[in-house]
Amino acid sequence: GNDDFRVDVDVAVIDTGIDLQHPDLNVAGGVNCTLSIFSAYCATGGDDDHYHGTHVAGTIGALDNGGGVVG
């Protein structure tokens, strides 16, 4: 990466969650929400058991730490 052209951007991933401990992701926080016609529920967390959300988050913004791809 070239820090001369670095831009800080906040994004949200609406998916199965994100692996909050993944070394390629800089996760600031997580909220897990479910919504139905009967109720809405949100809890902190959002850890990903299915890994699809982690894949999506990595495509968007994986860190340039020398391993794998860079988002």
Local confidence pLDDT in tens for the 71 residues of the chain: 556 777 777 787 888 778 878 888 877 666 666 666 776 666 666 666 768 888 888 898 888 888 887 87
| Rounded CA separation 18/20 (Å) | 6
What per-residue confidence (pLDDT) applies to 36? 62
Instruction: Count how many domains the chain has.
Output: 1
Residue 66 domain flag = no
What per-residue confidence (pLDDT) applies to 45? 63
Q: Which domain holds residue 51?
A: 3-61
Lookup result for tokens 């982690």 = 54
pTM attached to this predicted model: 0.63
| Rounded CA separation 34/45 (Å) | 13
What per-residue confidence (pLDDT) applies to 24? 86
Residue 49 CB-density burial (10 A; 0-12 exposed, 13-18 middle, 19+ buried): exposed
Residue 48 domain flag = yes
All residues at 6 or more sequence positions from 44 whose CB lies less than 8 Å from its CB, including other chains: 29, 30, 31, 32
What per-residue confidence (pLDDT) applies to 63? 84
Residue 52 domain flag = yes
